[in-house]
Structure 1
Amino acid sequence: MTAHIRSVAELSLARRALASGAALPEGVLREPLRRSWERVRASGMRPSDDILFSHWVSVGDARRLSEAHRDLIELATPDMEHLWQSIRSPHWVVLLTNAQGVIVHSIGESCLAARELSPLRCGRRLCEADMGSTAPGIASIEAEAVAVDGEEHFLDELQNFFCAAAPIFDTSGQLIGVLDVTGIHASGDMRRLDRVINAVQSIECRAYERAKSDMIIRLHEDPRFIGTPAQGVILAREDGIVTSANRAAQAMLGLKGAVPDQPVRIDEWLDVSALGREQMARRSSWTAPVYSHHGARLFVDVRRGAQPRRSPVMAGTALRETRDARLVAAFEKADRVFPHGLPLLLTGETGTGKEWFAQQLHQRHRAGKPFVPVDCSSLAEGIVESELFGHVDGAFTGSRRGGAKGRIEQAQGGTLFLDEIGDMPLHLQSRLLRVLQERRLVRVGGGGEVELDVLVIAATHRDLARLVTEGRFREDLFFRLNGLQIMMPPLREREDIAALIDEVLAACAPSGQAACHIEPELRTRLCALRWPGNVRQLRHVLTVASLLAGGGQEIREEHLPAELLGVAAPPPPSSLEEQQRQSIRRALEMHGGNVSAAARALGVSRTTVYKHLRP
């Protein structure tokens, strides 16, 4: 956390230098803010640019983005709601972004909120390349909590705003999001930043508590703080090898980084010799005082990690268990070629489980190694190269001190999952091709080559062959990624919908409670639905229905969305023209008959929509 700058006069001096293009005065701005101003100015953005109201996100896009980040939202929502209650006002909003700076969830007074806050909703990008210097943008790059008040914002139009943000890291130490509070015409009360930091501590603790681990070790100097967001948490295997430590544990033990560079046993950090093997192997939790490797007395609570519930995305913990013959055949093909370094290309509609498929292959062949997903459709402009390929110290103005690994290098030894590869900017495609061909990487700014041991899976819902023909995707990269192409079947064509419904309901059941069940007639209707959102939509619908029905109860029609039922799968279209007509009609249904909105969603002209609606 960093303090405010020295004075209003000094800030005015800095802003004059910013507007004129002159060098920023030394010692006036906090370093993270100064580096941010430099980065944004170098990108070509001007303080006088009007950006706040320049970008709007469709309801459909926002819904899809929210569903894609369901796990992150679920993890953060309890603390977001608590944070909102502490600042509840039409002049404030609580925001959650993903690692790329895109808002995936927000809490605020939607009906009463100030007009200036209305653009800050799901789908809006808050990264530096899109909004200049803001707290969430800086926090995601600098990897530290920060507040930006009034004229500290790069853009003139944001000078009535105050925002405070902190980054959220997962158990592997990777950035997964940023929590932010933003207010309009609000005082720069730095206590709000403290609240955001506390909320992030709680979110990260929750992530550690839910992690799959043989042992979960909670620690603190004061035993009263064990079980609170202030506790340190260490994850360890059955043999005592540490797999991760949260930031509080790192501070207590004088460590750097969530994941040790080399394998390390817990007894190298904590003197657990007095506890004995029997206690370490107990199935229940226990608490005792121990000493750290540098002599500090700590209280620890050790418990066995709970086995995670099976994923509701597909049936079975192993893909081979699915009853869909097409999916079994696809997995068997991928299983034979994937460990030999041949890239896989997963295609199919959104929501069919492409990332889950990739994770299954990863767990089978590189379990315990990093699985790094990259959403190519939301890479932040301006820092996209360094985000993917990393950078060395001093590579560009505002670069992170000491340099940083890119997403590709973070996957070293594991799997790189390039989601929505069809949306990757052309100028990055050539560099990615070179990395895939040579299996080595040079960070932005030079430095030595990094030899890569990474298995690659790409995924897209687009027709890459058509994009190649249109000049929007490199042909050589297409052939490089298309080592083996797997078409993920849409849910409406799968043979195991009934089994999937049972799997999702079982996963939704709270621990110790029976799963909900569905009356037979309604179950038959659900199996016949079109499910345009595929498995993702099925999971969402049944999760909500289970909550509404209550544990172990029967799910009835009243628990399901009104617009869902009665939309049975149509017979196969007799021609391409009929298929296009059906797609247009479905788009019109989704957009309430709005021809312009349907045309935008389909990427066609209004004339085309009208033409296919003629009898």
Structure 2
Amino acid sequence: MTMAEQQQLAAARNAFAEGASLPDALLPAPLQRSWQRSRDAGVRPGQQPYYPSLHPSPGRLDHPQDRRLARCVQPELEQLWAAFGARGWTMFCANRDGLVIAQRAHGLEDASLLLPIEVGRRLGEAEIGTTAPAVSVADDAPALVRGNEHYLQCFASIFCLSEPLHDLQGEVCGAIDITGLGERDPGLLHGYFRQAALASENRMFGVLNDVHLLAVQHDPRWLDSPLQGLLAVQEDGRLRAANRVARRLLGLPRRGPVPLLMLDEVFQGASHGQRRRLLQPGPAHRVLHGEGSAVFVQQLRAPRRVRSATAAKAPTASPAQPLRDQRRDAARRTVHAADGNISLAARQLGISRTTLYTLLRA
């Protein structure tokens, strides 16, 4: 970005803060929306960033979903840091609320504006204006924010690039980011950060013990890589979850819970023999998906027979216990095993969220 472009951005930002409209094509649409949200939150370009206080126990994550996401992302941050880490730079993962849940950094004492970025700190637009993670989460898209594209003018020397992360339901659950002083090659970084995001998302499927896990790809060379599609299939053949690669390959909705489909319905074009092999161990095999389309499918693992500590301690319902109480207890155990995720628990039970809430209140 040239000096003239930076100056144009700075002038437009100051005018925008006073209520003016932005010139057409000055900023990408996602950044324009972020500037609007920042202004609506009362942020002023000339102010210093406001970093909310840390948790009384720095580095502690209270929510189980945050801890699980951090475990899935940390190995990828380590790999990215080994390749692109440097003094005055940080890489981190923020959840959908902007809370930093995992991080690598070095030499941030040379970049005082970035020093407060650490695990347990919230980095929202209402606190520090436009940032790449905030844009990625809001728009479900890769984001790049450089220089005066930030809403706070004190970030004029900062480079910020991020990639969104998706949970098992296909919803945005956070973003991985690189931030630092100076410039980097955005095209190169976007490619590596996208693969890191895909690998992190694939690792999330490890919490689903009671399913068949299938890998799918048009090109079998991409199996066993971040670019493989993943399908979680229940023992009765019903589809439980799919990662974003599988959703695209198989024409499933990009966001939200997967449709209530049986595996045979997903592969309607397959022969009887091909369908019979879908949930069987063995090497990858070609399966017809639709007219003129085929994918390679491989079973990665069968359902794990894991008896949780909660289940081991749960008392067996006596014959005299009413059926309503048995269903309520089963619902509570399932929600507990899902770390409080109502949507996931409802899908595991094969009921709607409304029905699950009714059972829990019984």
Q: TM-score, normalised by structure 2?
A: 0.82
The equivalent residue for 2:131 is 134
The equivalent residue for 1:595 is none
Q: 1:45 to 1:281 in 2, by over 3 A?
A: closer
The equivalent residue for 2:152 is 155
State whether residues 94 and 180 of structure 1, in contact with CA within 8 Å, keep that contact through their aligned partners in structure 2.
yes
Deviation for aligned residue 1:121: 0.4
Q: 1:275 to 1:214 in 2, by over 3 A?
A: farther
Structure 1 residue identity aligned to 2:96: A
1:263-412 alignment to 2 at 5 Å?
263-270=260-267, 271-276=269-274, 278-282=276-280, 284-307=281-304, 309=306, 315-317=309-311, 319-320=313-314, 336=325, 339=328, 356=336, 366=346, 368=348
The equivalent residue for 2:31 is 33
State whether residues 162 and 188 of structure 1, in contact with CA within 8 Å, keep that contact through their aligned partners in structure 2.
no
SS at match of 2:141: coil
Deviation for aligned residue 1:186: 3.3
State whether residues 147 and 193 of structure 1, in contact with CA within 8 Å, keep that contact through their aligned partners in structure 2.
no
The equivalent residue for 1:191 is 188
Which structure 2 residue ranges, 5 or more long, are not aligned?
Answer: none
What is the count of residue pairs matched by the alignment? 353
Task: Spell out, residue by residue over 1:64-109, the C-alpha distance to the aligned partner (whole angstroms, 9 max, x if none).
Answer: 4488732221111110100111112111111111221101121112
The equivalent residue for 2:202 is 205
Structure 2 residue identity aligned to 1:48: G
The equivalent residue for 1:455 is 357
SS at match of 1:85: helix
1:255-270 alignment to 2 at 5 Å?
255-257=252-254, 262-270=259-267
Task: Spell out, residue by residue over 1:263-297, the C-alpha distance to the aligned partner (whole angstroms, 9 max, x if none).
Answer: 22333333332534652343x23311122224223
SS at match of 1:119: coil
Deviation for aligned residue 1:338: 8.7
Q: Is 2:154 aligned against 1:252?
A: no
State whether residues 285 and 302 of structure 1, in contact with CA within 8 Å, keep that contact through their aligned partners in structure 2.
yes
Q: Is 2:222 aligned against 1:225?
A: yes
Q: 1:113 to 1:9 in 2, by over 3 A?
A: closer
SS at match of 1:186: coil
Query: What is the alpha-carbon distance in structure 2 between the residues aligned to residue 253 and residue 130 of structure 1?
Result: 40
Query: What is the alpha-carbon distance in structure 2 between the residues aligned to residue 130 and residue 457 of structure 1?
Result: 40
Deviation for aligned residue 1:244: 1.9
State whether residues 267 and 273 of structure 1, in contact with CA within 8 Å, keep that contact through their aligned partners in structure 2.
no
What is the percent sequence identity of the aligned residues? 26
Q: Is 2:47 aligned against 1:49?
A: yes
The equivalent residue for 1:94 is 91
Task: Spell out, residue by residue over 1:422-453, the C-alpha distance to the aligned partner (whole angstroms, 9 max, x if none).
Answer: xxxxxxxxxxxxxxxxxxxxxxxxxxxxxx65
SS at match of 2:13: helix
Query: What is the alpha-carbon distance in structure 2 between the residues aligned to residue 9 and residue 234 of structure 1?
Result: 49
Q: Is 2:352 aligned against 1:413?
A: yes
The equivalent residue for 1:164 is 161
Which among 105, 110, 113 is matched to residue 108 of structure 1? 105
Query: What is the alpha-carbon distance in structure 2 between the residues aligned to residue 357 and residue 148 of structure 1?
Result: 39
Task: Spell out, residue by residue over 1:304-363, the C-alpha distance to the aligned partner (whole angstroms, 9 max, x if none).
Answer: 43417555xxx33255259xxxxx9xxx9xx849949xxx9xxxxxxxx9x838858979
Structure 1 residue identity aligned to 2:39: R
Query: What is the alpha-carbon distance in structure 2 between the residues aligned to residue 218 and residue 128 of structure 1?
Result: 38
Task: Spell out, residue by residue over 1:389-441, the C-alpha distance to the aligned partner (whole angstroms, 9 max, x if none).
Answer: xxxxxxxxxxxxxxxxxxxxxxx922xxxxxxxxxxxxxxxxxxxxxxxxxxx
Deviation for aligned residue 1:41: 0.9
Query: What is the alpha-carbon distance in structure 1 between the residues aligned to residue 258 and residue 101 of structure 2?
Result: 32
Deviation for aligned residue 1:112: 6.0
The equivalent residue for 2:211 is 214
Structure 2 residue identity aligned to 1:455: Y
State whether residues 171 and 258 of structure 1, in contact with CA within 8 Å, keep that contact through their aligned partners in structure 2.
no
SS at match of 1:290: strand
The equivalent residue for 1:239 is 236
SS at match of 1:129: helix
State whether residues 252 and 258 of structure 2, in contact with CA within 8 Å, keep that contact through their aligned partners in structure 1.
no
1:481-500 alignment to 2 at 5 Å?
none
Deviation for aligned residue 1:120: 0.4
Structure 2 residue identity aligned to 1:229: P
Query: What is the alpha-carbon distance in structure 2 between the residues aligned to residue 96 and residue 20 of structure 1?
Result: 33
Q: Is 2:174 aligned against 1:177?
A: yes
State whether residues 45 and 153 of structure 2, in contact with CA within 8 Å, keep that contact through their aligned partners in structure 1.
yes
Deviation for aligned residue 1:191: 2.1
Greater mean deviation of Cα atoms: 271-280 or 115-124: 271-280
1:508-523 alignment to 2 at 5 Å?
none
Query: What is the alpha-carbon distance in structure 1 between the residues aligned to residue 305 and residue 170 of structure 2?
Result: 20
Task: Spell out, residue by residue over 1:20-74, the C-alpha distance to the aligned partner (whole angstroms, 9 max, x if none).
Answer: 320122232111111111111112111112125x434255153244887322211
State whether residues 235 and 303 of structure 2, in contact with CA within 8 Å, keep that contact through their aligned partners in structure 1.
no
The equivalent residue for 1:79 is 76
SS at match of 2:284: strand
Which structure 1 residue ranges, 5 or more long, are not aligned?
Answer: 323-327, 345-352, 371-411, 415-451, 459-482, 485-615
Q: TM-score, normalised by structure 1?
A: 0.51
Structure 2 residue identity aligned to 1:85: A
Deviation for aligned residue 1:457: 11
Q: 1:190 to 1:320 in 2, by over 3 A?
A: same
Query: What is the alpha-carbon distance in structure 2 between the residues aligned to residue 317 and residue 110 of structure 1?
Result: 47
Query: What is the alpha-carbon distance in structure 1 between the residues aligned to residue 279 and residue 171 of structure 2?
Result: 30
Structure showing greater radius of gyration is 1
Structure 1 residue identity aligned to 2:135: I
Task: Spell out, residue by residue over 1:222-277, the C-alpha distance to the aligned partner (whole angstroms, 9 max, x if none).
Answer: 11110100111122223332222211122223332355664223333333325346
Structure 1 residue identity aligned to 2:27: L
State whether residues 33 and 133 of structure 1, in contact with CA within 8 Å, keep that contact through their aligned partners in structure 2.
yes
Query: What is the alpha-carbon distance in structure 2 between the residues aligned to residue 76 and residue 18 of structure 1?
Result: 37
Query: What is the alpha-carbon distance in structure 1 between the residues aligned to residue 130 and residue 340 of structure 2?
Result: 39
